[in-house]
Amino acid sequence: MIAVCLAGATGWAGSELARAIAHTDDVELVAAVSRTHAGRALGDVLHEPRLTASVHGSADEALATACDVFVEYTKPDTARANILAALERGAHVVVGTSGLTDADFADIDTVARKQGRGVLACGNFALTVVLLQKFAEAAARLIPQWEIIDYAHDDKIDAPSGTARELAARLAKVRAPQPTIRLDKTVGPREVRGATLAGWQVHSIRLPGYVISAEVIFGMPDQKLTIRHDSGSSARPYVDGALLAIRKVSTLVGVHRGLDSVLDLQAP
């Protein structure tokens, strides 16, 4: 049995994961975090009697219950402290929360290695997003210029999305930017060219009517390739990947980004 503490267990993504954990026979939810529902049994909040774990108002309180894996699914402003607290208590960590920076992950990596624990951070747990990343990496090996666009609903607080951040970081490892016109030579407001992440331009759209999508546009003279992923409105696509991360994170030491760190993508 893998004992899990789930921070954000009552949220849109966390509650779907909690309900799925209730139906596994190798993962057990031993503690949950949500400020609104602190003091209640998670099963009462989610109407799932198999979930007997108590809900705590903070990760520190929840971590008083020993766990093997801490799952972070709250908000960017609390995620970093929660992850560091879990590592200090000796738990491995799965990070679903988006919005952490490369600098945050560098600090977390230092603590994780000191503790000999694994941190698996996935901006998106959906298998189709892992494929987007892989296909984009293949394209980037052949096409030297691209930009990323991330689309989301108007109340998504973090920008760019975790998916876009992870994509930018991965593609930057394939090659360094080669813009035709350097950004500081832009005529007009520099901001309209988007933010520079890991050397590449990323643009975030936040409007009602969107769910979550990520797009990479690769441009070459007189031709272009667009690779795009669209999520539906439920949190179901993230469940299987999150369960896989929970089952595999103890095989890692330090920070690993992306589900493909533990997924065999070789064709059979």
Ligand X SMILES: NC(=O)c1ccc[n+]([C@@H]2O[C@H](COP(=O)([O-])OP(=O)(O)OC[C@H]3O[C@@H](n4cnc5c(N)ncnc54)[C@H](OP(=O)(O)O)[C@@H]3O)[C@@H](O)[C@H]2O)c1
Interacting residue ranges for ligand X, rule: CB under 6 A:
7-14, 33-37, 58, 73-76, 78, 96-99, 122-125, 162, 235, 238
* Residue closer to ligand X, measured from CB, 24 or 58: 58
Tokens of 207: 């409007």
Between 73 and 105, CB nearer to ligand X: 73
Residue 163 CB neighbours (<10 A): 24
Strands (E), the chain: 2-7, 27-33, 54-56, 69-72, 92-95, 118-121, 146-152, 195-197, 200-206, 212-220, 223-230, 254-257
- CB closer to ligand X out of 143 and 202: 202
CB of 123 to ligand X, least distance (A): 6
* CB of 267 vs ligand X, minimal distance in Å: 24
Q: CB of residue 219 vs ligand X: minimum separation in angstroms?
A: 28
Which lies closer to ligand X via its Cβ, residue 74 or residue 115? 74
Nearest CA to 253 out of 132, 109, 54 is that of: 109
Is the Cβ of residue 131 or residue 225 nearer to ligand X in the bound state? 131
Closest residue to ligand X, based on beta-carbon distance: 11
Residue 163 Cβ vs ligand X, minimum distance, rounded to whole Å? 8
Q: How far is the CB of 144 from ligand X (least distance, A)?
A: 29
Q: Which strand ranges, in their side-by-side order, compose the sheet holding 118-121?
A: 54-56, 27-33, 2-7, 69-72, 92-95, 118-121, 254-257
Pairing of strands 223-230, 212-220: antiparallel
* DSSP type of residue 160: S
Calpha distance 202→76 (Å, rounded): 19
